Amino acid sequence: MTTNLSKGGSRWPTGTDYARAIQNAEIAFSDMHLKASSVAANTMGMPLVASGQNAVVFLLSAQGNDQAVRCFTTPPTDGSRRYQALTSHLATSPPTAMIAARWLDDGIRVDDNP
């Protein structure tokens, strides 16, 4: 099954597509920190995932640091601009219950499509 996103395809990856892709972080991610991560898995070895209306979230760990990776299953509305605004806001008003977020253009590859 191919997503065909970079070639103008209309289908976005599903949670299952992302789960399959992140099992090989070195190939799936463009970010060097994420490439070195391992995904949290259940007792059957499948990635732990939390799903919502338009995204799935995976827990990855590298060198003792955990990161949540949010992968969209529908096109994000101006995601890059929104995450940049969130990053700027958190830099000047650090919350006690959240950590910094960052947007990665072409951050994950699914079926060889960014």
pLDDT band at 89 (very low <50, low <70, confident <90, very high): confident
73 falls within a domain: yes
Q: 6 pLDDT band (50/70/90 cuts)?
A: very low
Is the pLDDT higher at 68 or at 102?
A: 68
> In angstroms, rounded to a whole number, what is the distance separating the alpha carbons of residues 38 and 26?
9
Query: Does residue 79 belong to any structural domain of this protein?
Result: yes
Q: Is position 31 within any domain?
A: yes
Global pTM? Answer: 0.76
Average pLDDT over the chain, rounded to an integer: 83
| CA dist list (Å): 81 to 19, 44, 59, 68 | 26, 38, 24, 20
Domain that holds residue 66: 15-92
Q: Is the pLDDT of residue 22 over 90?
A: yes
Domain annotation covers residue 108: no
Does the residue 112 lie in any domain? no
CA gap 47, 38 in Å, rounded:
10
Domain count, the chain: 1
Q: Tokens 């949540």 identify what position?
A: 68
> Does residue 62 lie within any of the structural domains?
yes
